[in-house]
Amino acid sequence: MNFVHDDPDFDDLLRITANQRRLSLGLVEKDYWVTHTLWALHATGFEVWFKGGTSLSKGFSLIHRFSEDLDLKLDPGTVALPAVSNWKSEGTQATSQRRAYFEALPTLACVPGTSAVLDTDSADKHWFQANVRVSYPARHRGDLGGVLRPFVLLEVGNARVTPFVRRDMQSFVHDELMRLGQLDDFADNRPKEVRCVHPLVTLLEKLDALQRHVPRADREPASFVRHYEDAALIIAAEATLPSLLDYPDVGALVTEMRKQKQIAPPPRPDSLAFSLQPGARTKAIRDAFAAIQPMFWGPRMTLDEATDSIRAWLERTPLPSG
């Protein structure tokens, strides 16, 4: 049985899906290949953990922003991937192991219908993380709005991935096939029971990134501005999120993440990152916030609404400060 992207009418299906959802063709097409890539990594035999903005969108439906990168932790599973015994050491042997791991990934990450290459420029000198570009046969590059790239970027590292929640996923194209009653006509490439990092971990990481990056004039707002709305939407959904399992509350999670040096002390409600003052820096942040509009397919918060929500959450949530 063939994949739907092998069907000669796939382009028509993309157009139907885009029209039904009032989305750009390029976004619908890329959403399909992102989903297919995630499925393929599982099907190949990797142990996969999924985090970041795309997991908030595809795993939990918390945001309506298209985040094109897959932020992943990949363990070998049944794949003959070179072993890494130490992800933290800067020693020569550990660095060589990590480099061998990343250099093998493009060949071993078998995603039907695509080609993969290692982006060596993305790796730091100790190879703690690196990116793999998975290029798909993009037919609608011109509809990517200038903010999305015509490939799927795998951002692979060894960041925190617990606690996690297993979630099933599918693309807009799969949704349309279900509506048309044609889903069973094609090979099933929907990722199942994907380990998605709990959104509250993502919230703490995004707040940490904002308090570190906003005050730094050398950090372009485009690199962090999405965190405002993502964080506020996680906060809005907090009451409906899955349990934190082994943690009595978010404060206990903060304590552990601090102990493991994964985040700095949580920001105060009056942090300059969330009390944006008039000036050139704030104008640049507002401009960057407006510029990512093509990545959204639903109603948006304003930047002020997002910062108000974050400040209110920080005021009412007991978090350890040390």
The C-alpha angle with vertex 92 and arms to 87 and 94, in degrees rounded to 5, equals 20
- Can you give the pLDDT at residue 296? 86
Of 152, 170, 197, the last residue of a domain is 197
Tell whether 244 and 287 lie within a shared domain: yes
Which of 61, 236, 264 is closest to 273 using CA atoms? 264
Tell whether 26 and 102 lie within a shared domain: yes
- Can you give the pLDDT at residue 142? 67
Tell whether 192 and 207 lie within a shared domain: no
Mean pLDDT per 10-residue segment, the chain (322 residues): 96 96 90 96 97 92 84 95 94 97 96 96 94 93 69 94 96 97 97 97 98 94 96 98 94 97 95 94 96 87 97 96 74
Q: How far apart are CA 148 and CA 146, in angstroms?
A: 6
The C-alpha angle with vertex 36 and arms to 33 and 39, in degrees rounded to 5, equals 150
- Can you give the pLDDT at residue 24? 87
Angle, helices 303-316 vs 280-291, to 10°: value is 110
- Can you give the pLDDT at residue 184? 96
Of 197, 226, 242, the last residue of a domain is 197
Tell whether 240 and 192 lie within a shared domain: no
Which of 229, 222, 175 is closest to 62 using CA atoms? 229
Tell whether 137 and 100 lie within a shared domain: yes
Q: Is the dihedral of CA 232, 259, 125, 212 positive or negative?
A: positive
- φ/ψ of 174, rounded to 5, equals -65, -40
- Which helix (H) or strand (E) covers residue 116, if one does? strand 115-119
- Residue 216: how many CA atoms within 13 Å on its side-chain side? 12
Q: How far apart are CA 100 and CA 127, in angstroms?
A: 9
Tell whether 80 and 38 lie within a shared domain: yes
Tell whether 102 and 244 lie within a shared domain: no
In a domain? residue 113: yes
Tell whether 122 and 190 lie within a shared domain: yes
Of 197, 224, 252, the last residue of a domain is 197
In a domain? residue 38: yes
In a domain? residue 321: no
Counting the structural domains of the chain, the total is 2
Do you know the residue count of the chain?
Answer: 322
> 152: domain range?
4-197
- Can you give the pLDDT at residue 322? 67
